[in-house]
Each structure stands twice: as structure tokens, then as C-alpha cells.
Amino acid sequence: MQVYGGPFANSPPDHFPSNTSSSAGIFSTHIPYQILGETLNSSDCRVAYVARNPKDTLISLWHFATSMYLGQKREPQPLEDIVSKFCEGSVIFGPYFDHVLGYQKVSLERPKKFFFITYEELKSDPNIHVKRLAEFLGCPFVGEDTEEQVEEVVRSCSIETLKKHEVNNSSVVPSWTVVSNKSLFRKGLVGDHMNYLTKDMIERIDAITMHKFHGVNLWRENWM
């Protein structure tokens, strides 16, 4: 939205450089591989994709949608409605399971270009996976203080640290969106869906997960 304008942007943000010749840029997106694949495959970029437990993803989506509706002074959607739409694949950025599988499959085919990892793996051992990511990006940690460098990156990128930054703790809604930056940083916990979803909801989502990810070695250990 910030790069291309969109319905909520009045003008391109002033903090994006006008010179796009640098190859060191970072672009964050939720666009599925099914749409973005041709562009990615024809470029020299490397892609890091983080997949999260579908139930935690759903709860995160629900809280985000609630913030958006409240910001527009509209009645938030009940959790039951979000669960139904999630299971039907009728959610923003497309069906969750197709989204994950798109990047997961291409990461197996082209591991030097696509780095696929789960949020749960990152949380379980951030130091190990930050090292892996650095190597994938072609900028591995070097020197005698390697471990200290890794620790600093992990600390700086933790949700606890990010939530303390003034820009991320603001309730001001930027001109290019409908929610404040503060609404993007909540708990970041693994398994928080247990505090919201009913047994029936969990069983429904797990059944779809087993069906959609049948034969895919990514969900059983972390997501059930």
C-alpha cells in the first residue's frame, strides 16, 4: 500500500528512496506465490517466507480485523464468522492453506532462492534460525563475537523490543491505512488460540489442516 498508493494513500511516503538502483532493498508483502511467482522467478531477489500455525494466524487476523472495524466505527465481526470464512478460504490475501503451500513447495524446489520457516521454529530457537537466514541472504555472521552479534539481532527483532519503539506504540492512524501501527503488535505468542477458540472450532480447523497438508511435513509437530 505504501509503495503503490492504494485506496488509503494520499501520496507516496517520503521515506522511500527515489533511487531504486540498490539491490539491498527489503520488500514486505502478504501476496501469495500464485500471484507473485512469475515476478519473483524472473528477478534476482531472495524470498524469506514465515508460516504460522493456522489457528494462531486466524486469531491474529481476527484481532487485526477488530481493530480495523473499530477504527471505522463499525461493529466487529464475531469470531464464529471469521472462523467460517477462514475455513472456506474467504479471507484477505486468499486461502491460508494455498498461500502456505505455494511458498512451501517452491522452497523445496529452489532452496537457494526461497527460505521457508515456521513462526514456531523461530520462537523455539531464534539464534539458530537467524544464523540460517543470514547465510541464506549471503551475509553470514563473522568474527570472534559472532554469538554476541546474533544475540543483538534476536533482541532487537523481538516483539518485546519492537513494541517499545515509539513508531510502533502509536495509536495514530497513518494516511495510507485504516489501522494504527500499535494494532500490528499484540502478543506474538505460540498457542494463543487456545484462549479464544472453542473445542469445535479447533477440531474443524485441525481437520482441514490434515486434509490440506496431507503428505506435507510441516504441520504435525508444530501445529496440532
Torsion (CA) 98, 101, 102, 103 in degrees, nearest 10: 140
Give me the catalytic one of 15, 30, 211, 214. Answer: 30
Annotation says 193 is catalytic:
no
The span from the CA of 83 to the CA of 79, in Å, is 6
Q: Is the Cβ–Cβ distance between 130 and 154 less than 8 Å? A: yes
The span from the CA of 37 to the CA of 33, in Å, is 5
The span from the CA of 37 to the CA of 144, in Å, is 39
The answer to whether the Cα torsion of 9, 11, 12, 13 is positive or negative is negative
Catalytically annotated residues = 30
